[in-house]
Structure 1
Amino acid sequence: MSIVNEECLKVNNNTEEFDKSINDKKSDAIQNMKNTSDINNQINSHTSMIESLKSRINGLKKEIGLRESKIEGINSEINSLESNVKVLTSDNEEYKKTYNEALINLNSLSGKRDNLSNKKNSQYENLKTKEARLNTLIHMENSLEGYNKGVKAILKNKCDKVKVFGTVSNVITVPTGLETAIEVALSSSIQNIIVDNEKTAQEMINYLKNENIGRATFLPLSTIKGRKVNFSSELSQINGFVGFASKLIKYDEMFNNVISFLLGRIIICTNLKVGTEIAKKTGYTFKLVTLDGDVINAGGSYTGGSRNVLNNGIISRKNELADLSEKVKIDKSNYNSISTELDNIENEIKNQNEIVSSSSTKIKEIEFKIKNENNKKDMFASNMKNIVDDIKYLKIEMDKIYSDIDSYNNSIDSNKLKLKDLTELNKNYEEEIQELSEKLLHFKNEKETLINKITNKKVEIAEQNKIIENLNENLMNYKKNKETCSEKINLFNDEIKEKENLILEIKKEIEYTSGSNEKIEKDIESALNTIKESELKKENIRKDLEQNENKMKDVDESLNLMINSIHKLEITKSKIESEIDFNINKLWEDYEITIPQASKYKKDIKSYSELSKKANDLKSKIKGLGNVNVNAIEEYKEVTERYNFLTKQREDLKKAESDLLKVIETINLTMRNQFNEKFNIIRKNFNEVFKELFGGGYADLKLEGNDVLNDGIDIIVQPPGKKLQSLSLLSGGEKGLSAIALVFAILKMKPTPFCVLDEIEAALDDANVNRFSNFLKRYSKETQFIVITHRKGSMAAAEALYGVTMEEKGVSKVLSLKL
């Protein structure tokens, strides 16, 4: 076997040497062929490149000619644009001038409008205040406020201006400033009723009696005689003398006797000091009244102080009513003129705003046109510069092409010489490879014969090795079975020994137990007897203890009864002492007498409760009378006036409230209609956008109730392959994509030209980000989007990227990329 192996090894070595030589020769031949092919390729490539470069030179010459003609056209366009910009700039200056003038006018008019508006509001408030006061005075005058009951009845039912002419206050006109003096001078006579004769006076009195409606004083014109006064002209020279009351007021001539009768001997002066001087000169024969209402009576008595007269204010009210009516008319006229002027200014402001708006629009249009023209001009200039640069580069390129053609021609000549040498070398390699291949074939045949011999010997050796392995395996199995049987025998022997020891222990225990049973039974019987005796003793002791406890309980009950009785007596004693002290104190506080003093008035009482009740009734009646209010009439007048004013204000507020409620109802109705209309559009859009983003499914919006303005909205969605459910039950990514669908449903209803989205797709996975990006790209045809994002899918869909980085602390840098 070893000899065959040696021969085989020798043949292998010879074969490998020839294989290596043949392979080396083949490699050299292949490399030589490759070099030949490379040179041929270079020659062909250079030839085609020369043809291409010649064609390129012709094309460059044409391009240069076209660009030179374009430069001439661009220069013409630039000149035209410059002339257009000059015209537009001139027009723009004119519009700016008009715009600035309109702004100046607008600011001036706005200031005037604000001043007039404030003036109008102030005028309106004053007018409303005066109207409220006027209405109050008219109401008081119509309701005869301040007149007695009887006078009111006559004036309302019997005043016909033929027989009954009215009260004194009705027939006189008092100048401003003299109201208080005339009211004091007339005093209660101000309510006297002037009639034609005494018969009418009697009829009126009978009427009042029959109707039981009060009293009144009547002044018949047929019986009343005037008082003629003779006075020294020196009185009129006194500083502070105003005049006789009858001369200071105005009235109809037919009432001359009545007015002379009432006011003929009354002098009006400025103050008490002047009045005292006049009274001394006249010997206190005239009644003097100051402008403040103080009085020096004929005879010398003085009356004055604060006024609290029943008829105070009737003449003042009449004068105030006339004066206020005139002021209200003037204020209304002023208010209307201000409103008209304000409306004119508003119209002028509107006109100026229109001028500003139109001028601003024109300016923007012209500036936009100028900007476009300049942009076009810049574009043409840039294009011309690019064309000039292109011509320069084209000429440089032509020069380079000529140089390249010369280089390629030289290279072709050199490669042809190399190709001839490589062809001869290739023939030599082929002859050497043929000779080595014949020798290699001889050695391969010898090698195959030796390999067959070696294979037969290896088969015989493998069969013998297999028999030996089977015998060794059987031997090992027999040894393992023997060891297992020995272990089982040892275990059975140990178990038998344990069982024998257990049997011995059981026998010993049986012998011991039979000898001690009798002793245990005797001990149990003795213990039972002892227990019975102990139970008898225990029962006797328990009975004695119960008897003693019953006795103790009886004693405790008796003791508690005695303690409670003593406590009640002490409480009663304290209560009586407190009542005695209270009565002593009350006797002193209420009546300021002591017990010994009160004993003098001691009487026997049949029923204390009746006397107590009677005393309480008397106290209640006294308390019910309250405090006496001497200013009740004046307070009533003020309260009535205030009440009438507030009633008017309340009616105005109610009317305003009603108007506002109507306006609110109209607004709510419009809002509901618009909401329902837009809500239905959003529902439809939501379903469409949801299907587009999810690739199917269903989405809807539902109101929680019937009140569209206040109720919430439920979002119901059904992604593809899932059941219909609320938005709160979806995953985070599904919620995010559903929210995006809702946003774009609203945006679809009312598109905007510009929209910013800040990391709107942050919660989405990559697949949904790509789907959202594609949707956004389709939608960007109508709306321009700026998306702040960190997701690659969104960046890939964008038309331009802007990145912000901070290379240094506090310094940001912006990078841009057009896609």
Structure 2
Amino acid sequence: MQLKKIILCGFKSFADKTELEFGEGVTIIVGPNGCGKSNIVDAVKWVLGEQSAKSLRGGQMMDVIFNGSNSRKSQGYAEVTLVFANTQGLLNMDTDEVTVARKLYRSGESQYLLNNQPCRLKDIRELFMDTGIGADAYSIIEQGKVEILLQASKEDRRAIFEEAAGISKYKARKREALRKLDRTEQNVLRITDIMGELEKRLRSIRYQAGKARNYQKYSAKLKELRLNQFLAEYYKRQSSEQAQRQQYDQLQDELLGVTTAYEQTQARLSWLDDQINQCEKEIRRLENQLLQCTSQIGNQEDRVELGRRRCEELSEQLEKSGQQLDEFRQQQQALQAADAADRQQIERTQEELLEKQQQLDQLQNARQQRALQLSEYRAQLEDEKSGLIDIVRRTAQIHNEINAQDLRRTNLSGQKDRLHGRRGEIRAEMQQLLSIRTQATDKLDKIKVLLEESKEQLEARREQSAQLAEQRRCCGEDLSAAKEYRSGLLSRQQLLADLEAKLEGVDVGVRQILQGKQEDTDHFYYIKGIVAQLLEAEVKYAAVAAAALADRAQHLVAAHSQAVLEDSENLEQLRGRVQIICLDQLPRFSDGYDFSQHPEVQAKLIDLVHYPADCERLAWHLLGKTILVDTIDAALRLAQVAPPGYRWVSLEGDLLEADGTLHLGPQTAAAGLISRKSELRQLQDSIAEAHERIQELKNQDQQYANQINHLEKNLQELRTAIYEANTQQIETRSQREQVDQNIERLKREEPLIVTEIDTIEQQIQEALKLQASSQQSLDDLQSVNDRRQAEIDRLEETIAEQERQDLAMLDQITEVKVSLGQIQQQQTALRERLDHTRCQLQQCRHNLQMLEADLQNGQMSFEAAQQSIEQAQAKITALFQQRQEHQQLGQKLREDLDQRQTEKQQMTGRARELSEQKELLQEQVHQVQMQLNENHLRCENLIQRVREELDLDLVEAFAGYQHEETDWEAVGEEIEALKQKIERLGNINLDAIAEQEELEERAQNLHQQLSDLTEAKRQLELLISKINRESEILFQQNFEAIRLNFGDLFRKLFGGGRADIILEDPDNLLECGIEIIARPPGKQLQSLSLLSGGEKTLTAVALLMAIFQSKPSPFCLLDEVDAALDEANIERFTLVVQEFLKDSQFVLITHSRRTMAVADVIYGITMQEQGVSKKVSVRFAGEEEHLETGAAVA
């Protein structure tokens, strides 16, 4: 593979398309400084992917686009193309020729092309990886970068050797594998954490799912039994509706006959009403027309009077206009006379103006002649002054030379004194440096001790941080458990709140009243609620209070009995029967029996409940004589000895009534109303406690987090301290090495100062001789200066006399100009007055025309006003006749109206009789309709209740129903038992079943993912291990080869000496730094920074060629690397280059003739046009020479 061609277009100083072809051997590029040679190196780096504008000697990337010159416009884009021969297939492409290009537009768009196809920069870098070609590869050494190559850090220097060893691809693959391994390990940790959380959730959700399945089973059975109850009740309602429907149809037929007769009577009444309305309407219309006629007569009379006044005004106006017309005609005659007089005066002033202008022209011509003579005198004076200035300038120059020599002697003396002072400073500085070196050694010992102590503290802090992290993890588990407990409480609270909101367990009629009150506060305003809502008890006594109240828990409580009676209409529309306790009807209660003598008595139940102040009578009425005892047996015994009228309830909820009735067994659904409300209150307290517990755990977790953060800060501070100590250690070592270098430098500097003092003494003597010679020249110039000054004085007197005469003539010219200006001003005033007179004359003529037109218009208006008066008088006569006709027609319409009203009174009596008969039948129909509606409403309520409770359509379920006799009391008991079972289940999460299945599936997937990630991690670790082994082998082999080659080439270039390449840590081949050692012949082993410029260049060339010998690059581009070499070293350099021509091409940018002598092709770069580079090439082939020229755009 070799570089065949580079094509530049619009790149820096190459604005037009420029091609440089490269064959085998050495290609030399030459040209003067600043002509654009190094732009070719920048172009190669740029197309290979260089991203730093600074590296390309620019401020920003747009600087690579040709920015224009004095004769050319700027380019819109830059493009560079490299063409490689790939016949050996070194590049991973299927073509014999590979083209790599890069474009950059001023819009900021950038594009890479590979064989004219768009690609990524990554593709180009991978293509040339391990070939030695690249923007930062060892195949391109730029101007001034030789020293950087040697003084690069030990780690940065590795990149060159890795590229030469061919392990760049391995390093890239390893970095990618390490990134994948890091992501895999993170994924493993994340999935492990997720699985731990998932297992906790699964344990909880399995229990909830079991409860949910039991709930579904009980609910299904309960739904079936409730549906049978509802179907039986619906069957009963449907049977009752059929009988009511027959009675309704019979009453409707009777009502229809009466309604028909009534409607006919109403139709006649309606017709009469229409006729009466029409008559009244027509009468009102005639009355309105009469009013309009009267109004129009008044308007026309006003119009006649207005016309008369208008005629009088027009007559006066015509008389005034005639007088104004006579005045304007007189004014016109006066203005015409003034115009003629002004024109005669303007003609006289024009003759005076011409006479003064001739006099002014004569005076100005005479003054111009005198000015020419004065200019000649002034020119002679300027010549003399210029000669005098030259003498003064030469005199000043000589003075400056004398002063310069004097200053030079002073400076040389000061410099000599400073050199003597420097000798003293060197000796003092030497003593100071020796002291600093001792201090640096002591400081290194202290830093070593500090590092050991800091590392011990760091390890202790790490252990403490791990302990806190474990404590925080336990706190996190407690927090999760507390949140789960709170979630269960909230679910239970939501369930009970939903039941409370739906009034679950409340009878239909009671529910209807409570819902109506919620929807409209004015509806059932007298109802305070039900007993269960007004009386509260603690949870442990709620079941006892519910047992004691029994069905009375659902009784409604009203404030006033009178309001209940007044609202009987709404109460009759209820879908169920209700019981209402009126507070104003309750008697006062008193109880004086003392139960403290009976140990079986727990308390009076009234003392265990809470109630509003206005419900005290209610509470005493319901529970005032209810006693809580241990067991029902104790109740039976106490009932025998206590006063009559007391009720007894046991802790188990069994009730003994005052009449001896026992209530045993499970309670009804209604009994749970108080328990539900009490439990809701208790749940609120429990949720608040859970909130507090969660907040406490969060605070504790935050404390752990703060402690961990504090420890992390301490750890970071310790790491920072260790880092700073290491930095100080490195800096101190570097400082000590710098001190050693300064000591050596001072030892070399003192002999040089002695030699320089002797040289300064010689220069002081030379300055004294030059100062004496300059003084003699100064005396000769002074005599010439005196002669010229006398001639200047004579010319100045002559010029002054001529200027006085010129001023006198200038005064005469000014007087003539003043007279001329006065005449011109007088003439301008006359012309302005003439223009003003003409304007007034024109305005007067215009006013005459306007007055004549106004007179004509006034005469026409007068005639029109008289005609309007005549028309108004005719219209008044017609309106009087029309008003008389309207009065006659109105009288006839009033007679017809009286007849219609008499007939209407008769028909109204007949309609009243039919209406009473109709209302009686409608009342009967309404009664039957109410019964039907009530029955239908009960059916609808039943359907709605089934839909709400069972989520079923009762009508569809009834379609196939067959009625059978059933023991509904047993069914009710079974329903109550199922409700008790559901109640005991507590909080139910129906989503737990689906969630359990989802979590089980997710857990299985996570187990599989963890297994896959573990296997992937193992494979990546094997891959990294394999890459490391192969990289170490390759690097070891190539490093040893380069090391041997470097030593041989160094001796060949220097004619002796020794050079070596050493690994800092041979046990860590892939990461350790690389040190370069060089000792030219006759010198001690020393740092690379102390080598001379030529020695650095030869060392860099030796290293570069050693790498080439081990891993040849297809081409090598060297930019003025021979600039620091003398003739002999250039000869050695070119010989070494020629030895490598069989493996690589060489492109050299140089100014050296010896280097040019080895060229196969020479390209000359010139800049004949400012800012534009041109190419001149010479190819050597035997006796033939070929010369071609071309232009390129900068």
TM-score band by shorter chain is 0.3 to 0.5
Rg larger in 1 or in 2?
1
Structure ranking higher on relative contact order (CA contacts 8 Å, 6+ apart): 2
TM-score by length of 2: 0.25
TM-score by length of 1: 0.34
